[in-house]
Structure 1
Amino acid sequence: MKLWGGRFKQEESKLMEDFNSSLSFDKRLYREDVKGSIAHVSMLVKSGILKKEEGKVISDGLAGLLEDIEAGRLEIGGDYEDIHSFMESNLIKRIGDLGKKLHTARSRNDQVAVDMRMFAKDNAKMLEGELQELLDTIKKLADANNVIMPGYTHLQRAQVVTFKHHMMAYYSMFSRDKKRIANAIEILDESPLGCCALAGTTYDIDRKHTAKELGFKKPVENFMDGVSDRDYLLELCSCFSIIMMHMSRLSEELILWSSQEFKFINMSDEFSTGSSIMPQKKNPDAAELIRGKTGRVYGSLISLLTTIKGLPLAYNKDMQEDKEQFFDSLDTVTACIRVMSGMLSTLKVNSENMKKAVKYGFLNATEVADYLVNKGVAFRDAHGIVGEIVIYCEDKGCAIEELSLDEFKRFNPVFENDIFEFIDYDNILKKGIKKYL
C-alpha cells in the first residue's frame, strides 16, 4: 500500500519504486514513528478531531505493532516505501479502516521530521553518556600514572611534563565535545509535528500538546523551516567530526608511544592484532582503525552539507539522503568512543622509558636559560649560551644536569651550585605544571 497515488494514472515503475524506497534504512525509526503517532492521536482526541474510543483503538493498535516488532513477531520489510507506510499499512490490516484516520492533520514531511528529531535527541544523549565514560577512563588512567615524560612540539622533545598532564589535555578536549553535544540537543529540542507538509493545517490542532507529549520544550516557530530543517543533523555530525578528530590525535600518539622506538606504553592484547607472516608483531589496530574511521565521519558531514546546500524551501526528496549519513556517522563515533575507552582502560604505562627519554632530551634547557635570565643575562644571550651547552653535551654524550659546575662556568661565570636544584626535573614540574593541578 502506498500513502499516495490518487492522482496518478500509471503504476510506478519497479525501478523507481526500488530507487525511491527508504525502508531498508529508515526502519531504524520504528520506535520514534510509533511514539510520534501515538502523541499525534492523543492530540487529535484532545482537539475533538477523533473520538476518544477511536483514539484508544488506534493507539492500542500502534502499541501492539511496536510490541510485536520488539518481540520479533513482526519483521519490518516488504514492498513498502518507508517505515511510515509500513506502520500505517500494518495498522490498517489490524484495526481496519479506522487506521486510515491516523494521518489526519499530518504529513509525512512533519512525521519524518519529528521522527528524526526524536532519534537524534535520544542518541545524542546516549553519546553524552559514552563521552562521560571516556572522560572517567582518561581521568583514572591519568591519576594512576602521574609520572614524568617528554612533552613535544614538532614531534621533538621540548619540555618535561607528566603523563597525567598530557592525558588531561585530552580530558579537556572531550569535555568540550560533551558540551557541544549538549548545546546541539538544546538547539534541536523543538517539535516540528503539526507543520504538516509546509503550511500547517486547517484543523484546529494543538502543537504544544504533541511537543509536550514527545518531550520537546516547544513547537518550532516556522512551519516551512520545521519540515525542511536539517541543521540539527549537520550540527551533530560536526560534533561527531570534532570528537573523531580528537580521538584520531590521541590514536596517533598511542600508535607512536607503543612502537619499539618509543616504548612508552604497552597496548593490551585485547585491543591489538598480529601479523599473518611476522610472528613478533603486535599491531595497534584499534587505534589505527579509529584514526582511519575519522575520514569516514568527515565524509558524512561533507555529504550532508552538500545535499542540503542548494535546496529551496520547503521539503525536497533529497532530504531522504540525510538518514544513512547520520546513522553511519552516529554508529561510527559511538563504536570508536567505546573502543577508545576499552583501549585506554587496559594499556600499561612504561614510566622508566619515559624518564629515560626525559633525561637525554635536554628538556631542562629552557630552565637553564631562565636561570641565566634570573642572574641578569638578557634572554637572547641566555638562549645562545644554552644552545652552546646543548652542543657540548651532545658531543660529550651526557645530560645537562650531569655537567659539573666548572663546566657550566666555562659558558658563563654567573652559574653557581644552585643551578642543579633549579634544573632538577621534579623542581621544574613543581614550578610549572604541578602548581596548576
Structure 2
Amino acid sequence: MNTTAATERLWGGRFKSGPSLALENLSRSDPSFFRLAPYDLAGSRAHANELERAGILNAAELEQLLNTMDQIEKEFLAGKLPPILADEDVHTFLERELTQRLKAVGGKLRAGRSRNDQAANDLRLYLRDKARKLAVSVNELQDALIAQAEAHVETVTAGFTHLQPAQPIVFAHQLLAHAQSIYRDVDRLVDWDRRTARSPLGAAALAGSAICLRADLSAAELGYDGPCENSIDAVASRDHVAEFTFILSMLSVNLSRLSEEVILWTSRQFRWVELDDGYATGSSIMPQKKNSDIAELTRGKAGRLIGNLSGLLATLKSLPLAYNRDLAEDKIAAFDSIDTLELVLPAMAGMIRTMRVNVDEMRRQAPLGFTLATEVADWLALRGVPFSEAHEITGALVRACEQQGIELGDVSVATLAQVDARLEASVLDHVTLDAAVAARSGHGGTAPIRVKEQIARLRGAIDKQAAWAADYKGPSC
C-alpha cells in the first residue's frame, strides 16, 4: 500500500487524540477487503439518489457525485487507485477520494447511513455476484462430467459399496452420481439467493435512517427484491454468510469425493482412467510417476473450506445485537472459500474433460468379485422363491464358485444343479454384464436407456441454473 498520504477518520469527533499504533494495526481492514470497493460504490450511488430524494443533495451535486464515483471505480479497477495505509477500510478509502476530489459535496454522502449498513450491503452484493460466477464455473465442471457420461453410457464397470465390488453399472451412471450432487450445490445457491435478496441500506447504524426513507427504491436500484424487514437484523445478522460458506464447503466436500474416486481410478491397481499430461504431475525422484495432483489438492482444500465455516459459526455464536466488530471475520471466511474454489473448479473441469477411460479394462474387471450374484437372487425371487431363501442359495453358489476358482459367469449347469435344483440353466442368460445393467431399468437405474434420460433431464436442469446466473440485475464486477 502507498503510505505517503493521510486521511480523515470517519469516527474521531469525540476523541482528544488519535488511536495508538497498536489499535490502528489491529483495526485496519485486511487488504483483501478492498475488493469490495466496486460494490461499495454501487451502494453509494443508490445512497446518493436517496439523499437527492431527501433534499440533502441537489441535482447538480448528485451528478457530480455519480460522475466522480464512476471515475474512481474506473481507476480502481484499472489498478491506478490503490488504498493507502491510513485507509482503515474500504469505506474510509472511498470517502477520502470523494472528499479530496469534491470537497464539501463529497462529505455530504455520509448523511443518513453508517458503516454498519454499508458493510452489510457490500458483502451481500459481492456474494450475490460471486454466487452467479461460481455457478458458471460449476456448470463447466458439470458439462465435463456429462460429456464423459455421454461417451460411456454403454461402458460397463463395477459399482462399489464399502469400497468392495458390488454390482455392475455403466460408468456414465457413476459420473452422473457426482454430477447430481454438485447440481444440488448450485441449487442451494439459487435458494440461498432468494433469502439473501434483501437490502440492508437504510438500516444505518441499527435503528434505521431519519433521512433515507425510501429503502425500497435503493433496494430495487441494486437488484434486490426489497429491503430488510428489520433494521437491527439487517446490520447484525450474518446467517446468509454462514449459509453461503456452508454451501461452498458442501460443494468442496462433493468435489473431494469425486477427487478421491479419480485418485483410485488412475491408480495402477484400478487402471480405469488415465489423466491428460496437462492435468497431472510427476515425481522429482521417480521418473515413472504420473500423479493426480489436481484431485489431491482439491481433496485437501475441502478441509480448509470446512474450517472457514466452523470458524465463522464460532464467531457468530453469542454475539449480542446489533453490530459488533467481530463481524469483520465474515469476509475472511467467505473470501477465502471463494478464492479457493475459483482455483479448484477450472482445474477439476479440465481434468475431467480430458481424462481417457480404459473401457476394456473396466469391462474385464466388472464381473470380478461375484458382482453378478444379485442377478441370481433376483432371478429366483421373480420365480416365486422367497428372497431369504434366494439369498442363501446364491451364497451357496458363490461358495461353490470360489472352491472352483471361477466367476459366476463361468459356472456349469452341473454346478447349478448341485447347489439347488431350482437353479435352472436359463439363469445363465441373466448372469451377464449387459443383462445385469439392462435389468436395472427403473427410474434412476443404471440401464443405459434410463441413463440417457437422466442426462437429458440433468442438462435441462443445469440450463435453468445457467439462466439464473445470467439473469442478474445487481452490480457485477
The TM-score by the shorter chain falls in which range? Answer: over 0.9
Residue type of the partner of 1:218? G
Question: Does residue 70 of structure 2 align to residue 56 of structure 1?
Answer: no
Q: State the partner residue of 1:223.
A: 231
Residue type of the partner of 2:151? A
Q: What pairs up with 1:276-315 in 2 under 5 angstroms? A: 276-315=284-323
Q: Deviations over 1:370-407 (max 9, x none)?
A: 22233443322322222222222223222111112112
User: Of residues 179, 186, 189 in structure 2, which corresponds to 1:181?
Assistant: 189
Contact 1:110–1:226 at 8 Å: present in 2 too? yes
Q: Deviations over 1:130-166 (max 9, x none)?
A: 2222221111110111200001111000101010011
CA distance in 2, matches of 1:335, 1:173: 20
User: Of residues 57, 65, 81 in structure 1, which corresponds to 2:88?
Assistant: 81
CA distance in 1, matches of 2:57, 2:351: 55
Residue 204 of structure 1: how far off its partner (Å): 5.2
Instruction: Kindly report the root-mean-square deviation, in angstroms, between the aligned alpha carbons of the 2 structures.
Output: 1.3
TM-score (norm: length of structure 1): 0.97
User: Of residues 362, 385, 393 in structure 2, which corresponds to 1:377?
Assistant: 385
* Structure 2, gaps ≥5 residues long: 1-7, 441-445, 452-477
Residue type of the partner of 2:9? K
What is the number of equivalent residue pairs in this alignment? 437
User: Of residues 413, 416, 420 in structure 1, which corresponds to 2:424?
Assistant: 416
User: Of residues 217, 220, 233 in structure 2, which corresponds to 1:212?
Assistant: 220
CA distance in 2, matches of 1:200, 1:378: 70
Contact 2:259–2:299 at 8 Å: present in 1 too? yes
User: Of residues 414, 436, 439 in structure 2, which corresponds to 1:406?
Assistant: 414
Residue type of the partner of 2:394? V
User: Of residues 102, 114, 117 in structure 1, which corresponds to 2:121?
Assistant: 114
Residue type of the partner of 2:357? V
CA distance in 2, matches of 1:288, 1:60: 48
Q: Deviations over 1:147-206 (max 9, x none)?
A: 000011110001010100111111211111111000111110000011000001222531
Q: State the partner residue of 2:137.
A: 130
Q: 1:203 to 1:350 in 2, by over 3 A?
A: same
Q: State the partner residue of 1:150.
A: 158
CA distance in 2, matches of 1:49, 1:286: 55
Residue 61 of structure 1: how far off its partner (Å): 1.4
CA distance in 2, matches of 1:42, 1:377: 78
Partner SS state of residue 323, structure 2? coil
Q: Deviations over 1:216-263 (max 9, x none)?
A: 110001000001111111111110111111111111111011100110
Q: State the partner residue of 1:436.
A: 450
Question: Does residue 28 of structure 2 align to residue 18 of structure 1?
Answer: no
Contact 2:416–2:425 at 8 Å: present in 1 too? no
Larger mean CA deviation between 384-393 and 238-247 belongs to: 384-393
CA distance in 2, matches of 1:19, 1:224: 26
Q: What pairs up with 1:156-171 in 2 under 5 angstroms? A: 156-171=164-179
Q: Deviations over 1:301-352 (max 9, x none)?
A: 0111011111100000000111111100111123222221111001111111
Contact 2:202–2:212 at 8 Å: present in 1 too? no
Larger mean CA deviation between 65-74 and 377-386 belongs to: 377-386
Larger mean CA deviation between 212-221 and 333-342 belongs to: 333-342
Runs of 4+ in 1 over 4 A off after TM superposition: none
Q: What pairs up with 1:224-373 in 2 under 5 angstroms? A: 224-373=232-381
CA distance in 2, matches of 1:207, 1:86: 25
* Structure 1, gaps ≥5 residues long: none
Residue type of the partner of 2:174? H
Question: Does residue 210 of structure 2 align to residue 196 of structure 1?
Answer: no
> How many percent identity over aligned positions?
39
CA distance in 1, matches of 2:30, 2:294: 32
CA distance in 1, matches of 2:229, 2:56: 23
CA distance in 1, matches of 2:385, 2:50: 79
Question: Does residue 106 of structure 2 align to residue 99 of structure 1?
Answer: yes
Higher relative contact order (CA 8 A, sep 6+): 2
Contact 1:23–1:81 at 8 Å: present in 2 too? no
Q: 1:416 to 1:22 in 2, by over 3 A?
A: same
